[in-house]
Amino acid sequence: MSEIGIGILGGGYMGKAHSVAMASVGAVFNTTLRPRLEMICASSSDSAERYRRAYGFARATDDWQTLVNDPLIDAVVIATPQELHRQIAEAALALGKPVFCEKPLGASLEDSAAMVTAARDSGVANMVGFNYIRTPASQYARALIAGGEIGEITWFRGEHTEDFYADPQAPATWRTSGMANGTMGDLAPHMINGALALMGPIARVMAEVETVHKNRPGGKVTNDDHAQMMVRFENGAMGAMYFSRIATGRKMGYAYEITGTKGAIRFDQEDQNALWLYRMADPDAERGFRKILTGPAHPDYEPFCQGPGHGTGYQDQIIIEARDFLRAIETGEAVWPTFRDGHEVNRVIAAGLGSARDQAWKNINDY
């Protein structure tokens, strides 16, 4: 075993999740590389010191360049607002330091393209944080599809729906300002990444994007509340996706349904430890969706728990990501999703926004 010095930029919601993951991953997965929480960076020295004490880092700073350039930092985790992703990643990669960046990759298509180039030129490990597709249930769904268990795929339906802005009187915040913080910038990337993982590349899209509550207490809303998208995958399958932050009653509606010629799959993140599977080969008297509870027989479950049906949680998804990032660093081999995969998600989003603007189908290859 050998230590690796970790620097994390951002100490809030995702900064905490990645700090806990890096502190836990060695024990959970018995990794060869063992993270050392070396330095955390936040927007002020007071908050950085508070996070340092809370998460167990050796040092703290309010200057991202100090963290990136520190010789004891071997790898960087970016959990900052999107506007800072590019400059931090480019600086770290130029020093040959592996980078894990939270989604979406950068604040624009130009940013993510530049980050892909920087990662390619550096030749070091790079990953994007799409955690939901890493649940044991969704990993098993990917395996079923890849193995042909439900036949040729004919249809995909996906959604990422939440209701944290369903109340029209909820006040305006940073989340209601700028397209990068709207539904297409915040929620859509997760399900688009999921669609790409489960179904393969998207060829073209037709989308509508809408701001339902244009004014909120405290200010005008300058980004989108919800969006819908028809898609055609490169494998010929049709599909549709819906993204919303105003979906009343939905708390973590990352859900999909996939129809094939031999069967079908359903999944809902609000019940993340179960996958619903339909097989046409079952006897007529038994044919129907069956609920499969995840357990040690499913990918990445047993390191957390030996009991079938006991379940894994949100933090465990981040720990799995940490394991994959360390594996990419150790082996020198790309581990999905790389910066290029994150850029592919951004291309679909850009095409969707272009479609909504022009009210026309858009080819992904044009972006």
Strand intervals (E) in 11-91:
33-41, 59-61, 75-78
Residue 213, pLDDT above cutoff 90: yes
Average pLDDT along the chain: 97
- DSSP 3-state of 93: helix
pLDDT in tens, 15-57: 999 999 999 999 999 999 999 999 999 999 999 999 999 999 9
- DSSP 3-state of 204: strand
Give the Cα separation of 287 and 121 in Å (integer): 52
* Section 126-130 average pLDDT: 98
pLDDT in tens, 133-180: 999 999 999 999 999 999 999 999 999 999 999 999 999 999 999 998
Give the Cα separation of 367 and 347 in Å (integer): 6
pLDDT band at residue 1 using 50, 70 and 90 as cut-offs: confident
Residue 346, pLDDT above cutoff 90: yes
Q: Residue 259 — φ and ψ, nearest 5°?
A: -110, 130
Tokens of 212: 């339902």
* Section 238-258 average pLDDT: 98
Largest Cα–Cα distance in the chain?
Answer: 66
Q: Which amino acid is at 86?
A: R
Tokens of 213: 């509550």
pLDDT band at residue 256 using 50, 70 and 90 as cut-offs: very high
Residue 334, pLDDT above cutoff 80: yes
Give the Cα separation of 47 and 153 in Å (integer): 49
Predicted structure pTM score: 0.96
Tokens of 120: 């390619």
Which domains does the chain carry?
Answer: 2-130 (3.40.50.720), 136-312+345-358 (3.30.360.10)
- DSSP 3-state of 308: coil
pLDDT in tens, 91-108: 999 999 999 999 999 999
Q: What confidence score (pLDDT) does residue 135 get?
A: 98
Residue 221, pLDDT above cutoff 80: yes
Residues whose CB falls within 8 Å of the CB of residue 252, separated by 6 or more in sequence, listed in order: 162, 269, 270
* Section 112-130 average pLDDT: 98
